[in-house]
Amino acid sequence: MAKRVVLAYSGGLDTSVAVRWLTDELGVEVIALGVNVGQDGGEIDADALIARAKAAGAVEAIVVDARDEFARDFCMPAMRANALYEGRYPLVSALSRPVIVKHLVAAAREHGADAVAHGCTGKGNDQVRFEVSTRALAPDLDVIAPVRTWGMTREDSIRYAEARGIPITATKEKLYSIDDNLWGRAIECGEMEDPWAVPPPGVWSLTAPSTTEPRDLVIGFDAGVPVSLDGATLPLVSLINELQSAVGSYGWGRLDMVENRRVGIKSRETYECPASLALILAHGDLESITLERDLAREKSRLEPRYAELVYDGLWFSPLKQALDAFIDDSQQHVTGEVRLHLEAGSCQVTGRRSDASLYDYGLATYDAEDSFRHEDSAGFVRLWGLSVETWAARQARLGG
Ligand code: ARG
């Protein structure tokens, strides 16, 4: 039985109640760990979070700023893989869990804890990501999931908190379940549990339209990583945040989809991901001129698999690691610029250029500068179709 537990602490109702529940019901000491992955634009009041955790009964509370690490080591590999789960979702929540687990494990080591805990329910993907990642990094640590075991409804939890003086801001009718970070925002539940229901306008915050004047925005990439906006070099986190507000202000970057959770449930999800979707759009476009054809095709076959692994909690796994090596190697020439055109509700690529471009004007043009060897084509095409020609002559005629 665990004695000291590091709990992934958000400051919300469930994790605040979990602090006390773990302490009282399991008799453990709780160390609350808040990880800043850019939620609420990264504006986390660390002192307030620590005070809340201690008021709930934590023996220790820590807040770490993991924004740079999250952007560099988690969002970027996923972006370089153009990772979109089921072809659409840029893995916002799925990417943050492994970085949180890294810090949970580090805190457990530092504070001599023998278990980690999370506030996920038994129905979602996030429990899978927390637990599988912990098993991969620290198989000796126990994982405790109080929300999955305590059997309290939301009202029960509110009553539990009120009876014990645990500070909460939750009200009885909480409508949505929201998870956000640098890479975007996920909004579920409430009336959107009916997949036919139109998401109420109030759910959108990163993509509330506020700009109508069209504009162009140029993203510069170096070896597959965005480094500049309109020629100005920016640190990664600032670049993502700036892109978030620039693109989001045109009301672009929303997703409304029914996705397949790892646990077998279909779930209606809405997302707003202006920065991550714009980056994947631009990055994929730059690859169209910088990746050789066969490399590009093979990479595009692996991308959906990469997204699945991340979604399914296998960030720390041998296949994901091997795919990272492949993707890393593929990115050495993905350096250049992509122009995005923004206008109300739309974000489109209108140009791309690179010193390493494989686009050869002389080969492509129909003008006088044409350098293509036209005489090579006749023999090539003849041989390309030779087996079909033979089949047509011998078998197609026989029918069947
Ligand atoms: N469905 C998304 C995913 O599995 C988002 C989950 C958001 N989590 C939450 N607690 N609202 O990645």
Q: What is the pLDDT of residues 327-364, one digit of tens each?
A: 999 999 999 999 999 999 999 999 999 999 999 999 99
Say how many residues make up the chain. 400
| CATH class held by domain 4-164 | alpha beta
| Ligand 1 pocket test target in 126, 185, 311 with most atoms within 8 Å of CB | 126
Pairing of strands 29-36, 60-65: parallel
Hey, what are 101's tokens? 């687990």
| Contact by Cβ (8 Å): 66, 35 | yes
The domain defined by 361-398 carries CATH number 1.20.5: yes
Of 20, 80, 97, 352, catalytic: 97
Of 20, 67, 96, 126, catalytic: 126
Secondary structure of residue 238 in the 3-state scheme:
helix
Asked if 14 is an active-site residue, the reply is: yes
Mean pLDDT of 178-182: 97
CA of 178 to the centre of ligand 1 (A): 8
Asked if 177 is an active-site residue, the reply is: yes
How many whole angstroms separate alpha carbon 72 and alpha carbon 226? Answer: 10
CA of 308 to the centre of ligand 1 (A): 14
pLDDT one-digit tens code per residue, 42-56: 899 999 999 999 999
| Contact by Cβ (8 Å): 309, 320 | yes
How many whole angstroms separate alpha carbon 35 and alpha carbon 32? Answer: 10
The CATH T-level fold of domain 178-353 is Argininosuccinate synthetase, chain A, domain 2 (3.90.1260)
pLDDT one-digit tens code per residue, 360-382: 999 999 999 999 999 999 999 99
Q: How far is CA 23 from CA 13, 18, 151, 313, in A?
A: 16, 8, 17, 28
Residue 18 burial class via C-beta count within 10 angstroms: exposed 0-12, middle 13-18, buried 19 and up:
buried
pLDDT one-digit tens code per residue, 2-37: 899 999 999 999 999 999 999 999 999 999 999 999
pLDDT one-digit tens code per residue, 244-284: 999 999 999 999 999 999 999 999 999 999 999 999 999 99
CA of 307 to the centre of ligand 1 (A): 14
Mean pLDDT of 317-324: 98
Hey, what are 380's tokens? 């090539």
Mean pLDDT of 275-297: 98
Mean pLDDT of 292-307: 98
User: Is 131's C-beta closer than 6 angstroms to any atom of ligand 1?
Assistant: no
User: Is 125's C-beta closer than 6 angstroms to any atom of ligand 1?
Assistant: yes
Q: Where in the chain is the domain with CATH 3.40.50.620?
A: 4-164
Atom of ligand 1 nearest to the CA of 267: 1
Its pTM surpasses 0.85:
yes
pLDDT one-digit tens code per residue, 157-175: 999 999 999 999 877 776 8
Q: Where in the chain is the domain with CATH 1.20.5?
A: 361-398
| Ligand 1 pocket test target in 179, 187, 266, 270 with most atoms within 8 Å of CB | 179
User: Is 126's C-beta closer than 6 angstroms to any atom of ligand 1?
Assistant: yes
How many whole angstroms separate alpha carbon 320 and alpha carbon 301? Answer: 14
Nearest to 22 by CA among 114, 150, 166: 150
Half-sphere exposure of 119 (CA within 13 A, CB side): 24
User: Is 245's C-beta closer than 6 angstroms to any atom of ligand 1?
Assistant: no
CA of 126 to the centre of ligand 1 (A): 7
Q: What are the φ and ψ backbone dihedral angles of 315, each rounded to 5 degrees?
A: -55, -45
pLDDT one-digit tens code per residue, 143-157: 999 999 999 999 999
Q: What are the φ and ψ backbone dihedral angles of 192, each rounded to 5 degrees?
A: -75, -5
Nearest to 333 by CA among 385, 296, 383, 364: 296
Nearest CA to ligand 1 atom 6: 93
User: Is 10's C-beta closer than 6 angstroms to any atom of ligand 1?
Assistant: no
In the chain the first and final C-alpha atoms are separated, in Å, by 70
| pLDDT value at residue 400 | 64
- Tokens 């707003």 belong to residue: 272
Asked if 238 is an active-site residue, the reply is: no
